[in-house]
C-alpha cells in the first residue's frame, strides 16, 4: 500500500516543509530575533545540546529564503561552536540548504523561484548565465569562491537541465573551500579579540 502511493509523498512533504519553514522564519522575525545577530546567538545557545541542530535549521532557512545573508549564521556558528565545529555545522547546513533549493526549483519551476529571489535577480542570472554551454564550470567556480550567492545559484541551477547527481557532487566538492575561509576568518577574529 505504501509503495503504491510513495510517488505522492514529495507532493505532500515539500509544500508542508516549505510552509513550516516560512512559519518558523515569520515567528523569529515577529520576535525581533531574525535580524539581530546577538538575539539570534542567544536564541540558538538557549537550546543547549540541541543548539547545533537549531543553528543548522536557521542556516538552512537563511539559505532557502535569502532575506538575511547566510554569512550571519556562519559567524554565529563559529562564535558558538568554534572554528572547527562551526565549519562542520555550516558546511552540512549549506549542503542541505542548497539541495533543498535545487529541489524546490526543479519541483515548482520559475514561478516560485522568481517569488523567492525576485524578478531582478532572476533576470540578472538568466542574462549572465542562462543557456551558457559551460554553465556547469561557471556554477562550480561560483560555489568554490567565498561570498558567492549559493542560495540564488542553487535555485537558478534547478531550472537548468543539470542532474541531481552533478549538482550534489559540485556542492560537496566545491563548497568546503568557502566554508573553510569563513572558519579561518573566525579564527583570526577570535585571536584579535582575545
More confident residue, 84 or 36: 84
- Identify the CA nearest to 149 among candidates 90, 55, 71: 71
More confident residue, 62 or 51: 51
- Identify the CA nearest to 102 among candidates 158, 28, 27, 30: 158
Q: Is the pLDDT of residue 172 over 50?
A: yes
What is the domain extent for residue 112? 2-193
What is this structure's pTM?
0.73
Number of domains in the chain: 1
Average the pLDDT over 53-59 and give the result: 84
Q: Is the pLDDT of residue 149 over 70?
A: yes
Amino acid at each position: 500500500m505504501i509503495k503504491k502511493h510513495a510517488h505522492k509523498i514529495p507532493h505532500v512533504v515539500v509544500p508542508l516543509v516549505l510552509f513550516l519553514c516560512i512559519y518558523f522564519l515569520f515567528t523569529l522575525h515577529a520576535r525581533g530575533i531574525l535580524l539581530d545577530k546577538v538575539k539570534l546567538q542567544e536564541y540558538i545557545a538557549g537550546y543547549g545540546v540541541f543548539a547545533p541542530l537549531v543553528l543548522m535549521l536557521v542556516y538552512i532557512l537563511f539559505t532557502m529564503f535569502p532575506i538575511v545573508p547566510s554569512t550571519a549564521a556562519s559567524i554565529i556558528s563559529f562564535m558558538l561552536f568554534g572554528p572547527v565545529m562551526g565549519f562542520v555545522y555550516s558546511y552540512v547546513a549549506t549542503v542541505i540548504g542548497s539541495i533543498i533549493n535545487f529541489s524546490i526549483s526543479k519541483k515548482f519551476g520559475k514561478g516560485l523561484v522568481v517569488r523567492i529571489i525576485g524578478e531582478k535577480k532572476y533576470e540578472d542570472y538568466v542574462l549572465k548565465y542562462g543557456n551558457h554551454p559551460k554553465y556547469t564550470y561557471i556554477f562550480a567556480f561560483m560555489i568554490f569562491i567565498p561570498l558567492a550567492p549559493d542560495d540564488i545559484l542553487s535555485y537558478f541551477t534547478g531550472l537548468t537541465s543539470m542532474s541531481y547527481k552533478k549538482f550534489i557532487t559540485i556542492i560537496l566538492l566545491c563548497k568546503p573551500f568557502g566554508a573553510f575561509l569563513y572558519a579561518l576568518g573566525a579564527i583570526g577574529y577570535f585571536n584579535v579579540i582575545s
